[in-house]
Structure 1
């Protein structure tokens, strides 16, 4: 009999995992990147991404409640569609989320290197060191990781609050270097912003460890998306208050650069570093669970399916996850890694919506049209962003 992970994460823990997975690269990097593309339409890009995420989140919640196991859409593809769909979803998830983790780790490394005046070549090594540290935290067990998540989320929120207060306290400005915006740019920005919402997927991929999954998973997803949407819109309005962002540079991407007051800027920098570290932590956790599921089915070496003696962690799968993320962090850059994540994760959630349409009426608690809209939104954003 296959060993199962222990269900010891309740609604509060699931909500913290969702927030910890999102409030980092999204608020501190992706909003600024999207602002450089969408210009004055930034808030609309956030709203489009949020609506797409809500449909996909509800489809994920539907699937996780009907089939509450670790592995997310990899398992749902197998269970509700066919083995090929499951395998494709599994590899898409590993690529997309490993790229997101590498982006967050590289962003933290850039913060540290610029602040301490270190050479640019050391950035990739700092990123790998961060990945090693947070992999060890994940291996300590989900329950202890949740306590760390609470601390990370609180500090992240403090940094964002500082940014919003400092921004709206400053005089409103109009940036002379305006961004040329059309409808394709809007959807391109929305596609990049969508990645910033997808931390709710970590809740679904941990379906095997969440108590009362049919009740807690949907609630955690909706609450997470509601809180994050409000925060992103507030950050977006703050950026526009200061005239927006005219361009995006890999070493100058953080929203703290928009603040002139050094004291406020340091708070935002601290919040950004902590928040993005939280994103890496949760991505290591989430991706390792998909690697675990693929090992169980034999789509990856079965040695990756071994659990710890207390059944609270998956060491082999977790270290394999670290290896993939470390390779991307060593070889890639922030902008390219984020773009790779955006396109692969949209296709991944397209498969999620197709699988959700196959859930039986007895197990269904969301109407099918939600998944249909989610499917159209995912593939629509892929096409429109590619044309931009």
Structure 2
């Protein structure tokens, strides 16, 4: 019999884990693209993104309770909808989160050394891939430290911006682009990434049927309140046009508020948050790649496990190489849009899977599925076309690979 994990986490612990997964580097970089899409409409867009995130997290929680195996929607889609949908969810996760890795790396570059952002991004990817290769993983203590640093930096930005903001500048974007709020919500969805981490704790929390449904809205509510405070203050200082043009909006807000002393602090906070997110993302993408290779959906060599370090070293090197290439050539805004598209498809499949669980689950699952679809196709056309194209490549690969034997030992 497989031993179970120890049930030690209560509601507070689960909320902290959720905040650790959500309140990271996304808020340091996603506000600019959202302001470009919707101006002041980015504020209600935050609420829309949070509602869709809530639906997705609850669908994942219900499915995780039924299928406690690792793999997330890759497993749920396969079990509830069929092998193809599980594969498509895994493919969407890998490509979407690979773009997330590149966006996090580029965030480090934008705040640490803007003139050489791409070079810094590639260096960060190489360094963290080397760390992961040796099996070093981010600890729970480190997660709490990162959350504390990020919240302290965000609080400082809100404080100085609130004292210098010019509320009248918020009227500059009265004319919103058609569909701008939905597009902004799709881009801001990137900043909520990680909320479903709570849903994966079913085997480690006390009374999971009660704890997980309570922890999810609390963690999302706190994250939404923090993001809204930051968005309002930064928007007031920079104005919609200034925010839309900024690659490092929180640092620019500190400069505009005559708080130059805060700029290095913000840069360090953004770098810490982005590096922490990047470390976790590379781990997650490489493990999903390993699972798909074991099932024969990706080349068998990616299923190799290092005999000494016991990590999927071929998968980690492959993921690191692809992320480094994207970070060297892509624009951070394009990476955010592409990432959001892939992850929204992934959670769309999660909601469709939750729909099959029973009548009680259907209203929230339907809202989540509709929300994922609306936000995905409201993203910038380049992100939608690129995402659709890469998903199509995955579909073709699935069709070609059907009947191919799985990796040895799968």
Q: Which TM-score tier does this pair reach, normalised by the shorter chain?
A: 0.7 to 0.9
1:155 aligns with 2:149: yes
Q: Residue 184 of structure 1 contacts residue 385 of structure 1 at CA under 8 Å; is this kept in 2?
A: no
Shift of the 8–151 alpha-carbon distance from structure 1 to 2, 3 Å rule, reads: farther
Q: Which residue of 2 aligns with 1:96?
A: 96
Q: Which residue of 2 aligns with 1:61?
A: 61
Calculate the aligned-residue CA RMSD, in Å: 3.3
Shift of the 171–107 alpha-carbon distance from structure 1 to 2, 3 Å rule, reads: closer
Shift of the 141–224 alpha-carbon distance from structure 1 to 2, 3 Å rule, reads: farther
C-alpha displacement of 1:201: 3.7
Residue in structure 1 matching 2:237, options 220, 223, 242: 242
String of CA shifts for 1:328-387, please: whole Å, max 9, x gaps. 1122111111111122222221111001112257xxxx6321111000111122334457
C-alpha displacement of 1:49: 0.6
> How far apart, CA to CA, are the structure 2 residues paired with 1:188 and 1:195?
12
Matches within 5 A, 1:246-285: 246-247=241-242, 252-259=247-254, 260-285=258-283
Shift of the 93–33 alpha-carbon distance from structure 1 to 2, 3 Å rule, reads: same
C-alpha displacement of 1:163: 0.5
> How far apart, CA to CA, are the structure 1 residues paired with 2:244 and 2:228?
22
Q: Residue 341 of structure 2 contacts residue 376 of structure 2 at CA under 8 Å; is this kept in 1?
A: yes
String of CA shifts for 1:124-169, please: whole Å, max 9, x gaps. 2321221233334445658753332222111111110111111112
> How far apart, CA to CA, are the structure 2 residues paired with 1:7 and 1:51?
31
Q: Which residue of 1 aligns with 2:34?
A: 34
Q: Which residue of 2 aligns with 1:77?
A: 77
- Residue 359 of structure 1 aligns to a residue whose secondary structure is coil
Q: Which residue of 1 aligns with 2:224?
A: 229
C-alpha displacement of 1:99: 0.5
Shift of the 328–387 alpha-carbon distance from structure 1 to 2, 3 Å rule, reads: closer
Q: Residue 24 of structure 1 contacts residue 156 of structure 1 at CA under 8 Å; is this kept in 2?
A: yes
String of CA shifts for 1:66-122, please: whole Å, max 9, x gaps. 1122222111111111111111111111111111110110121122223xxxx53xx
Shift of the 300–326 alpha-carbon distance from structure 1 to 2, 3 Å rule, reads: same
C-alpha displacement of 1:275: 1.2
Residue in structure 1 matching 2:194, options 199, 203, 206: 199
Q: Which residue of 1 aligns with 2:349?
A: 351
Shift of the 54–295 alpha-carbon distance from structure 1 to 2, 3 Å rule, reads: same
1:44 aligns with 2:44: yes
Q: Which has the larger radius of gyration?
A: 2
1:146 aligns with 2:140: yes
Q: Which residue of 2 aligns with 1:294?
A: 292
Q: Which residue of 2 aligns with 1:304?
A: 302
C-alpha displacement of 1:235: 0.9
> How far apart, CA to CA, are the structure 2 residues paired with 1:273 and 1:171?
25
String of CA shifts for 1:258-287, please: whole Å, max 9, x gaps. 122112233222211211122212211222
Q: Residue 24 of structure 1 contacts residue 277 of structure 1 at CA under 8 Å; is this kept in 2?
A: no
Q: Residue 31 of structure 1 contacts residue 236 of structure 1 at CA under 8 Å; is this kept in 2?
A: yes
- Residue 277 of structure 1 aligns to a residue whose secondary structure is helix
> How far apart, CA to CA, are the structure 2 residues paired with 1:208 and 1:141?
25
- Residue 174 of structure 1 aligns to a residue whose secondary structure is helix
Shift of the 210–24 alpha-carbon distance from structure 1 to 2, 3 Å rule, reads: same
C-alpha displacement of 1:18: 3.7
1:380 aligns with 2:378: no
Q: What is the aligned length?
A: 375
- Residue 176 of structure 2 aligns to a residue whose secondary structure is coil
Structure 2 unaligned spans of 5+: 383-410
- Residue 261 of structure 2 aligns to a residue whose secondary structure is helix
Q: Residue 291 of structure 1 contacts residue 300 of structure 1 at CA under 8 Å; is this kept in 2?
A: yes
Shift of the 244–250 alpha-carbon distance from structure 1 to 2, 3 Å rule, reads: closer
Q: Which residue of 2 aligns with 1:184?
A: 179
Q: Residue 135 of structure 1 contacts residue 322 of structure 1 at CA under 8 Å; is this kept in 2?
A: yes
- Residue 289 of structure 1 aligns to a residue whose secondary structure is helix
